[in-house]
Amino acid sequence: MPQASRCPFTRMKALLSFKQIEKAVATETDLSGLDSLVSWITDFVALPHKDVGRQGPVCPFMPRAINSNSLLFADVPTKSLKPGELEDLVKSYAETFLTTEPVRGKSRLNKAIVLTLQDISSHDIVETIEGTQQQLKRYFVERGLMLGEFHATHQGRGIRNENFFPLQSPIPLLVIRHMIPSDLPFLAKTTDSPKDRLVYLTAYTKAFFWCLPKDRLSELAIALFSTLRELLPHVKTSSNMFTLITTKT
């Protein structure tokens, strides 16, 4: 019997909060990898770490999400899915995310949905988790959302420390949350095609341009111009354009 079928997600057929997961781990014995997931979140993600390269927890968002009970979980069995069905299922959770309270005000930024994919075979984890995230990144960003990918051997490095690997989780995960201003480095990654990068940076600009501090505006301008040069190498960007985007009127 697949591990996921013994998971409380499957039994309840609904989103569970982090507090419900913690309670289940404390009172039940057959919970597959959920005990390791809870430990990873509480003992790593939500705490400061010497290798992060800045003050505060590994994920600044996580303590607020836990304390407001806005960290929600769902299990996604994959063994019976046909090609393309996983992407459709993850897209459906984007709509669930957008319609699950809170949907307005600053408190909505504390909300996240963590999708656990526990029944992926070990040799398919990288392709399934990282491939699905890359395939759906544009879909999510255009809706003002971010889709994060995590698994035990993820080689994604920390922004401030290339020897830090914060995306390594004990079980495979896809995480949905709102886009925030500090997400710019993830949307300006040169590993994405310049065409996709322009879509990401345009969505980011529409969402945050008027509330960004000047240093972040400069970072955005550099990313935009670099992307435009790749797309239109024959067009010269002027210093006047740079001044325009980094000066609020």
User: Cα separation of 196 and 198, whole Å?
Assistant: 5
Instruction: Give the model confidence (pLDDT) of 170-185 as tens digits.
Output: 999 999 999 999 999 9
pLDDT at 233: 77
Is residue 1 over pLDDT 80? Answer: no
Question: Is residue 10's pLDDT more than 60?
Answer: no
For residue 166, the Cα-to-chain-centroid distance in whole angstroms is 12
Query: What's the confidence (pLDDT) of residue 25?
Result: 82
Q: Which residue has the tokens 């710019």?
A: 184
Poorest-pLDDT segment among 51-55, 154-158, 209-213, 231-235: 231-235
pLDDT(230) > 50: yes
- The residue count for the chain: 249
- Tens of pLDDT, residues 90-141: 999 999 999 999 999 989 999 999 999 988 988 999 999 999 999 999 999 9
Mean pLDDT of 226-245: 67
Residue range 15-32, pLDDT digits in tens = 889 988 888 888 876 666
Give me the DSSP letters along 215-237.
HHHHHHHHHHHHHHHHH-TTSPP
Nearest to 45 by CA among 53, 54, 57: 57
Torsion sign (Cα): 204, 208, 210, 215: negative
pTM for this predicted structure: 0.88
Contact 155, 115 (CB under 8 A): no
What is the b/e burial string over 16-44, where b = at least 16 CB atoms within 10 angstroms of the residue's CB? bebebbbebbeeeeebbbbbebbebbeeb
Burial group, residue 121, by CB count within 10 angstroms (0-12, 13-18, 19+): exposed
